[in-house]
Structure 1
């Protein structure tokens, strides 16, 4: 798990410029690569890079991934970073208590992750990172079924090969699934990012090199291609993100009202209940911590709505389209020591 996450951080950093260059959906703001990299960096920092786990942890791969996912979702940036963090958190759940990855566990983890990612968005769209995750999960399940639940390393290798191949085909399809991508003749940036993440997993588990040829021929991804998003119409409005403790009812209310107020609404649970020490509290009233993401015309009404339901932390507001002189992110609440800064919208 640590080798995978460390490799993912490096690869996303190396590819951030090209991912930014083709980032035109849902907003042509050229920050998908930066957001994925910063979110991965938070995950790696939480688990101490690639150093060995303490003996008392029992080499629990799910526990390691859960810790990384928790940090990632707390410090996630943008649509892509938030969905990547959701992927990590969800994939960790079936792995808790396990000491090694297997084909059956991979299939279960990827399926859990793609379901959670689709449900995190109020209006999920095909032709994005979601489609790539779904294709990868189906491929893993198909191999697991064909191998009759074999948990050998050989079956795991077959599953990982199939997962990366399916993810690549799903990335290629994104160009024809979304009109803006088809018109610009590019594939989806978030989808390519997820392909890179999955190839890093394959590389880390099998001890093989990354398959750089995967990116050959992906439209818009050639190093000589321009930054596509710079020629797209500017998007008005802001991106608002925060973490907040809410009951399931209040979370549903917040999601509904944010849907009415803006778009690109993502809400995903962070960790367990916030009231674990109160055994007498009815389940219906228990608070859960949520990571919230939304694009709105103006920040103030959204922030006021969020604060009317609870006490949010780390409220970050970023312009969806800013001049190159702007910093790109205003943190309304003080950010705890050690959190990563907001990305510049023109950090290429």
Structure 2
């Protein structure tokens, strides 16, 4: 699991520019690659000092997922952190991954990710998660619950293949993608993450030709998002402890004033007052009403407010991201698009 997230960190670093270039849904803000990279990096960093003798797969992933959730960036980063936290649950107490456990983890993860969004949309990374889950479940059923490494390899191969097919389908599922003739950026990022899982578990190389032919993904393709109208408004994110009733109230009221509402629990245990920690994400025209609403229900931490209409210069890089030279020196992937 540590090797998986380390590989995913490097792969997303190598690909962040191209992912940003085709990021036009739900808003054309050109930051999906950066957001996914920084979120996965938070998960990977959390495991770097983990005891090498730790043999509870679920505990390791839960630690990574919580770190990702607390530092999640954007829609894509938030959904991936939800995916990671949920995938950890069926693996709790397990010392190794198997095909039945992979199927259970992917299923739990994609259901949780779909349910975290108030208005989930097919043709996004959600569809890629779902396709990978269904493929793993089909292999597990065909292998009658075989927990051998061979069956696990078959399930991982099938999941990545299904994820690729789902990425290709995204272009036809969303009008904005079809008009721009590109696939979904978040879906491609999720495909990369899944191939990194396959590589880490099986001890095989990443699939060098996996992304060949994806529309909008060649190096010479322009930054599609720079041609799109600026998106007004801001993205508000925070972590907050809420009772179940207050959580439901917050979701309902955020749905009324904003879009892209994502709420997911951080950890599973309630505090002494019966409240749970939640990660909250929303796009709103103006931050003040959303922040006032959030503060009326609790004391938020990790509160961030980001403009959706960021500079459209493809050369502008997130100050938190590493340079291309650093990516190249740590290169673990044969994808190579952004080295």
TM-score scaled to structure 1, two decimals?
0.89
Partner residue of 1:321? 309
Separation in structure 1 between the aligned mates of residue 311 and residue 76 of structure 2, nearest angstrom: 22
Partner residue of 1:48? 48
Partner residue of 1:147? 143
The verdict on how the C-alpha distance between 1:134 and 1:210 changes in structure 2, with shifts beyond 3 A counting, is same
Q: Whose RCO is larger (CA < 8 A, sep 6+)?
A: 2
Deviation at 1:310, TM superposition (A): 0.3
Map 1:134-173 onto structure 2 (within 5 A). 134-173=130-169
The verdict on how the C-alpha distance between 1:32 and 1:87 changes in structure 2, with shifts beyond 3 A counting, is same
Map 1:282-301 onto structure 2 (within 5 A). 286-301=274-289
Map 1:213-252 onto structure 2 (within 5 A). 213-252=209-248
Deviation at 1:314, TM superposition (A): 1.2
Aligned partner (choices 160, 171, 177) of residue 173 of structure 2: 177
**Is residue 210 of structure 1 aligned with residue 198 of structure 2?**
no
Map 1:1-348 onto structure 2 (within 5 A). 1-48=1-48, 53-55=51-53, 57=54, 59-275=55-271, 278=272, 286-323=274-311
- How many pairs does the alignment contain? 320
Aligned residues of 1:270 and 1:289 also touching (Cα < 8 A): yes
Unaligned 5+ runs, structure 2: 323-337
Separation in structure 2 between the aligned mates of residue 312 and residue 157 of structure 1, nearest angstrom: 43
Separation in structure 2 between the aligned mates of residue 232 and residue 324 of structure 1, nearest angstrom: 10
Deviation at 1:342, TM superposition (A): 6.8
Deviations 1:279-308 (CA, angstroms, capped at 9, x unpaired): xx6xxxx10000000000000000000000
Separation in structure 1 between the aligned mates of residue 33 and residue 138 of structure 2, nearest angstrom: 30
Separation in structure 2 between the aligned mates of residue 108 and residue 98 of structure 1, nearest angstrom: 13
Separation in structure 1 between the aligned mates of residue 140 and residue 101 of structure 2, nearest angstrom: 9
Measured on the aligned residues, the alpha-carbon RMSD in Å equals 1.8
Deviation at 1:214, TM superposition (A): 1.1
TM-score scaled to structure 2, two decimals?
0.91
Unaligned 5+ runs, structure 1: 329-339
Separation in structure 2 between the aligned mates of residue 164 and residue 45 of structure 1, nearest angstrom: 25
